[in-house]
């Protein structure tokens, strides 16, 4: 990647709501892109079962996901600008925690939580874009995970239909593909926004 792109991303602020399979991997990609600042929010701790698809290690079991993520991202980039918030997100907390973010990655597991953050960002945070995920359970079918620009302020990643259920778990390959779709969409949004400003 050209150094110019790193330079262009250095003033961006991106929020990551949830540090599970999606968020912990989105954070890795954005750290490697040297996005200016990442605001990380989660209330949970690392469990052994998380190691099947989340970016954590066995010796981090029991650590708060915010602390473990910050540790891992700083191993990639010691100068990374990271803000960790150990909080259960509600509509009010979303506004408070992500108030300075240009883009917010929705990285929750539950549909009601996904809906909550998308609705909150779109109705209460008029300058922010949200990149959400719907449909990534199971395995295989990599090319069915796509990125759709639903509106100027909403991007949706996934196949929109594959929910978890008996015999249809979340697996590392499809979760990882979706996470990197999210990170790529975020980079595109930030770079397009910058280029639009420069063209004015």
**pLDDT tens per residue, range 35-74:** 999 999 999 999 999 999 999 999 999 999 999 999 999 9
Question: What pLDDT does residue 109 have?
Answer: 87
CA angle 50, 21, 101 (to 5 degrees): 135
What confidence score (pLDDT) does residue 169 get?
72
Which of 5-9, 10-14, 72-76, 174-178 tops mean pLDDT? 72-76
Domains of the chain (ranges plus CATH)?
Answer: 3-199 (3.40.50.720)
Q: Hey, what are 94's tokens? A: 């979303």
pLDDT confidence of residue 152: 93
State the pLDDT at residue 194: 57
Cβ atoms within 10 Å of 6's Cβ, excluding its own? 14
Between 172 and 194, residue with greater pLDDT: 172
- Let me know: does 65 contact 24? Beta carbons within 8 Å: yes
What is the SS3 assignment for 163? Answer: coil
Residue 29's nearest CA partner among 51, 7, 14 is 14
């Amino acid at each position: 990647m050209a150094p110019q792109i790193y330079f262009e991303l250095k003033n961006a602020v991106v929020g990551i709501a949830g540090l599970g399979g999606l968020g912990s991997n989105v954070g890795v990609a954005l750290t490697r892109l040297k996005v200016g600042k990442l605001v990380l929010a989660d209330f949970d701790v690392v469990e052994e079962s998380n190691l099947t698809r989340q970016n954590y290690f066995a010796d981090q079991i029991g650590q708060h996901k915010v602390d473990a993520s910050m540790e891992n991202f700083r191993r990639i980039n010691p100068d990374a600008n990271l803000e960790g918030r150990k909080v259960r997100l509600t509509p009010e907390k979303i506004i408070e925690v992500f108030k300075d973010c240009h883009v917010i990655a929705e990285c929750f597991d539950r549909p009601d939580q996904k809906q909550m953050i998308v609705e909150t960002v779109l109705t209460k945070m008029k300058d922010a874009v949200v990149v959400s995920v719907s449909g990534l359970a199971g395995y295989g079918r990599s090319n069915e995970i796509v990125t759709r620009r639903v509106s100027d302020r909403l991007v949706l990643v996934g196949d929109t239909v594959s929910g978890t259920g008996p015999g249809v778990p979340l697996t590392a390959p499809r979760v990882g593909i979706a996470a990197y779709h999210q990170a790529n969409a975020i980079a595109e949004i930030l770079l397009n926004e910058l280029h639009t400003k420069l063209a004015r």
